[in-house]
């Protein structure tokens, strides 16, 4: 009956999709790279002028892309801190990404509040270099004048929504975005101003957290702007995941997240307790090593790319003739072994062949992510389906092994702009709720992604034996390191 738009402001680009309100079918799309910013004047690659996001948005929306659109949802990169002064001007460029400058500040904050468990209990996560609360601590220590001028704290999607609405007095965010700050607790649904003060040295205004189907406001032209959310939450919403679903992302590092009805507090800090874009929760477990283990193995074997490595691995058999790779090449976070190295176990004369090492790399990567899945399962999270994301998800060696190693049906969606689609779905929800045509407690049902569906079938028992072989080596090499 209408059309809505979703925009995703990622670290390097803005993507916009225009969707049918009822079905979610993508009707039009736009794309623009963010302007290249020079790092002169003491700037750093992780320092970004937020105006670049607006310029990119304008370019992506060119050519009448948004004509006829009734509502817009905004998704944006997580953890981008935008500090504003009392007049609403940026105090300094936005600090984005896992800013390495903040690593010392993270350790400092953890100690200042009483350790990892205290943070996990307070806000559902342990500060790392990426979190806004850590960036506040860095700014207070390294740029005290900027810290003193900071009066308002926003994230990227908050700032963009605020700009689209003409910079009103009211500033808003959503549960998903707030849950990644380090000063909002998913378990209680409230801010922890004391942690802002601990990090920044004084209080600051924080955006109002509005409900999943609430509108942030309406532009003078009558365009409804929904709450917006973080990129991770928007992608999960765009994929349409629900209870019983987990998402495994295969990047250089890996992450596992699942929908759950309640926040999970983890005393060991392995679970980051985020909120999703629907009113549910999105516990996340990350690994430091995923595709980097494949790339390292490809270099070691002298093969040119991951496709060739996959072909080589397919010549081996499940269990890699006894070879087990613990892929902790950059240390590891799950289990928490920051200073360890990888381990190759089970070497025998008959296993010393390239195809067996190639297979061990794929099995090691997937078993490491299986460990992350088990952290969630051990806390009562139901996992019936696993959505597998990232270019490596297309590799035959991944697809053949993942269902049996994960012990679940594996869904490999076709590549699409899921964060932008999720933002558009949120816009459709807010529009329908405002018009009285949709229940604010129930999001619109859109068509699911086009995907391959892979079942473990008869391979399940073999896959679980391979997992057990991996677990045995892990326990022998790092006894007691893994907490379930």
Q: How does the average pLDDT of the chain come out, rounded?
A: 95
Q: Can you give the pLDDT at residue 293? A: 98
State the Cα–Cα distance between residues 448 and 305, nearest whole angstrom: 31
Angle at 72 between CA 71 and CA 74, to 5 degrees: 155
Return left, alpha or beta for 64; rule: phi > 0 is left, psi -120 to 50 is alpha, else beta. Answer: left
pLDDT for the residue 226: 98
- Tell me which H or E stretch contains 84: strand 81-84
Q: Nearest CA to 435 among 7, 5, 21?
A: 21
Question: Residues of 362-401 as b/e, b for ≥16 C-beta within 10 angstroms?
Answer: bbbbbbbbbbbbbbbbebebebebbbbbbebbbbebbbbb
Q: Which residues pair with 246 in a beta bridge?
A: 258, 386
pLDDT digits (tens, 9 = 90+) for 395-426: 999 999 999 999 999 999 999 999 999 999 99
**What interhelical angle do 193-200 and 103-112 show, nearest 10?**
130
Model confidence over 465-479: pLDDT tens digits?
A: 999 999 999 999 999
pLDDT of residue 40: 39
Q: How confident is the model at residue 484 (pLDDT cuts 50, 70, 90)?
A: low
CB distance 150 to 91 below 8 Å: yes
Q: What is the pLDDT of residues 125-177, one digit of tens each?
A: 999 888 999 999 999 999 999 999 999 999 999 999 999 999 999 999 999 99
Going by their DSSP bridges, the two strands 71-76 and 3-9 should be labelled as parallel
Bridge partners (DSSP) of residue 163 are none
Q: Is the overall model pTM greater than 0.85, yes or no? A: yes
Residues of the chain with pLDDT > 70: what percent?
A: 98
Mean pLDDT (whole number) for 243-268? 94
d(CA 65, CA 296): 43
Give the Å distances, CA to CA, from 202 to 105, 265, 316, 348.
16, 27, 60, 61
Question: Predicted confidence band at 1 (pLDDT cuts at 50, 70, 90)?
Answer: low
89-127 residue pLDDT tens: 999 999 998 777 888 999 999 999 999 999 999 999 999
Predicted confidence (pLDDT) at residue 41 exceeds the cutoff of 90: no
What integer is the mean pLDDT of 166-190? 96
* Residues whose CB is less than 8 angstroms from the CB of residue 461 and which lie 6 or more positions away in sequence, other chains included: none
pLDDT band at 44 (very low <50, low <70, confident <90, very high): low
Q: How far is the C-alpha of 390 from the C-alpha of 406, rounded, in Å? A: 17
Half-sphere exposure of 132 (CA within 13 A, CB side): 27
Gap between the Cα atoms of 306 and 438, Å rounded: 46
pLDDT of residue 129: 87
């Amino acid at each position: 009956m209408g059309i809505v738009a979703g925009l995703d402001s990622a670290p390097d680009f803005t993507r916009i999709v225009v969707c049918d309100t009822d079905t979610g079918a993508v009707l039009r799309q736009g794309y623009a790279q963010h302007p290249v910013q020079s790092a002169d004047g003491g700037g750093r690659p992780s320092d970004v002028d937020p105006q670049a996001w607006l310029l990119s948005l304008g370019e992506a929306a060119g050519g009448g892309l948004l004509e006829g659109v009734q509502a817009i949802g905004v998704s944006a990169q997580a953890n981008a801190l935008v500090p504003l002064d009392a007049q609403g001007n940026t105090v300094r460029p936005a600090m984005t990404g896992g800013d390495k400058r903040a690593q010392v500040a993270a350790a400092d904050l953890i100690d200042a509040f009483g350790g990892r468990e205290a943070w996990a209990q307070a806000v559902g996560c342990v500060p790392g270099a990426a979190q806004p609360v850590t960036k506040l601590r860095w700014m207070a220590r390294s740029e005290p004048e900027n810290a003193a001028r900071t009066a308002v704290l926003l994230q990227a999607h908050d700032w963009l929504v605020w700009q689209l609405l003409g910079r009103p007095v009211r500033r808003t965010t959503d549960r998903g975005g707030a849950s990644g700050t380090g000063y909002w607790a998913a378990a209680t649904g409230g801010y922890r101003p004391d942690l802002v003060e601990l990090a920044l040295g004084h209080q600051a205004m924080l955006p109002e957290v509005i409900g999943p189907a609430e509108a942030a406001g309406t532009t003078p032209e009558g365009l409804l702007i929904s709450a917006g959310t973080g990129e991770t939450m928007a992608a999960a919403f765009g994929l349409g995941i629900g209870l019983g679903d987990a998402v495994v992302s295969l990047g250089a590092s890996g992450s596992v997240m699942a929908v759950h009805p309640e926040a999970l507090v983890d005393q060991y800090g392995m679970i980051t307790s985020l909120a999703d874009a629907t009113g549910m929760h999105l516990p996340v477990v990350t690994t430091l090593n995923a595709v980097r283990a494949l790339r390292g193995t490809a270099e070691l074997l002298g093969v040119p790319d991951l496709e060739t490595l996959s072909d080589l691995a397919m010549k081996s058999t499940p269990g890699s003739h006894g070879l087990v790779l613990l892929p902790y090449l950059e240390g590891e976070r799950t289990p928490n072994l920051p200073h360890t190295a990888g381990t190759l176990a089970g070497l025998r004369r008959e296993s010393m062949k390239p195809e067996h090492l190639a297979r061990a790399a794929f099995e090691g990567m997937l078993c490491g992510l299986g460990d992350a899945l088990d952290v969630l399962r051990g806390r009562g999270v139901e996992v019936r389906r696993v959505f597998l994301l990232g270019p490596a998800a297309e590799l035959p060696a991944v697809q053949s092994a993942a269902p049996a190693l994960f012990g679940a049906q594996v869904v490999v969606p076709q590549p699409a702009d899921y964060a932008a689609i999720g933002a558009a779905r949120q816009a459709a929800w807010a529009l329908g709720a405002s018009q009285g045509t949709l229940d604010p407690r129930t999001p619109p049902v859109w068509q699911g992604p086009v995907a391959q569906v892979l079942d473990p079938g008869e391979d399940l028992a073999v896959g679980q034996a391979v997992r057990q072989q991996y677990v045995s080596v892990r326990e022998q090499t790092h006894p007691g390191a893994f907490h379930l």
